[in-house]
Amino acid sequence: MMPDELLGRYRHLRAISTRHHSAALKFLARPTILEHARRLGLARGQVLVADSAGEMTLVFDLAIYSAKQGGSRAIDRYAKAAHLAPGSDEALMLKAMRTARFSIWRIECRHEAIGLVVTDLVRKAKAWLIDESLAASVPEGTTLAGRLCEPENFAMSGGVMVPVDAEMLEKVLVEPWVSRHADSARMADDPRFATAIYRAAVECRVMARVTFE
């Protein structure tokens, strides 16, 4: 594809992913949302106390993409109920979202066609990321945490990318469960990793510096 075609394809799939996320929210119960908010320090009793919409995106990300051991994720419950046409772009995008990888990503450079080249710092692998907002606003060398999915030969972000610095990582790596993972990839796959990153972001007030478009 030419750059204009790739951009059009990305925008089309991004619109589908936005609809999927909105639909998946309907499969969340209020107690689940509150539970994830408490883990991030964003709830007092039965009341949410997030300082910004950005902090609430962290809560919803965890609520959609993670679940208690033995439980089901909201994204999977939605997929079972959606009845999408096999082979459709909607089905393609939802499948990619269900297998999204959470990690810490470093922006290396601009891709020769469109988008960015990023490195998964946990799994030591590169990916081609198309994201209009990131490409327009984030400089090379920036380190971000979030979910990437691959509906095509390029990757897309899961909707929220959190800037990561040394102070945040220090908060995460001292958690007791981290040392029990001998393999770093398994650590990143552990739902507690995303929770720990997001909690550190809240404690360091990182989301106050993030603008969503």
Beta strands in 45-202 (DSSP E): 47-48, 101-110, 116-120, 125-129, 143-149, 156-163
What number of other Cβ atoms are within 10 A of residue 104's Cβ?
21
**Tens digit of pLDDT for each residue in 77-94?**
999 999 999 999 999 999
Integer CA distances (angstroms), 181 to 66, 86, 108, 121, in order: 19, 37, 27, 16
What number of other Cβ atoms are within 10 A of residue 181's Cβ?
15
Under 8 Å between Cβ of 116 and 107: yes
**Tens digit of pLDDT for each residue in 145-172?**
999 999 999 999 987 899 999 999 999 9
Q: H/E element holding 61? A: helix 53-65
pTM here? 0.91
- Over residues 53-68, the mean pLDDT reads 92
129: region left, alpha or beta (phi > 0 left; psi from -120 to 50 alpha): beta
